[in-house]
Amino acid sequence: MTYIVSYQKFIDSDRTVEIALPIGESNQRVGQELATVDEVTYVALPDNAVLPEQPQEITVSTVALTPELKAQISANSPSIELINQLVVEKIAKKYSVNDEIKLLRTQPSPQFDEYNAYVESCRAWGRNEKALLGL
């Protein structure tokens, strides 16, 4: 699973100080910045990730995710925007907009049921990807 932390970036005329993320086995940073809302930046981390010592300008807090905050982060997250776009592309790869309109008008039918099952599988994929980010 994933947990979310928040912090405020330190920015002055000379530099920007961000959160120090853990380094994984492949020498890559572990964690993903989700969004910045009202000058607070939210980062998703795997449950087993331990944050290293932080720069003195940064204070990190674990987030208690309320439905309202989840909606705000999701609305401002490039990652969520990308997942939503990929869901649309997965559906469009198999069904054009005209196909979708036609199928919606012919329900109930086996073709509609097939279409609906495919769309729901695409949406489930998107929900799973968002859950991996803690959203």
How many domains are contained in the chain?
A: 2
Give the global pTM: 0.88
DSSP E strand stretches across 13-128 = 16-17, 32-37, 40-46, 61-62
Is residue 11 over pLDDT 90? yes
pLDDT, tens digit, for every residue of 12-51?
Answer: 999 999 999 999 989 999 999 999 999 999 999 999 999 9
Whether residue 71 lies inside any domain: the answer is no
92 lies in which domain range?
78-132
DSSP at 22: P
Q: Which residue type, as a one-letter code, is found at position 46?
A: P
Say yes or no: 51 and 24 in one domain. yes
Say yes or no: 9 and 57 in one domain. yes
Structure tokens at 36: 């910045």
Whether residue 73 lies inside any domain: the answer is no
Cβ 134 vs Cβ 79: under 8 Å: no
3-class state of residue 131 by DSSP: helix
Q: Which residue type, as a one-letter code, is found at position 53?
A: E
Q: Mean pLDDT, to the nearest integer, of 59-86?
A: 98
Structure tokens at 46: 């795997």
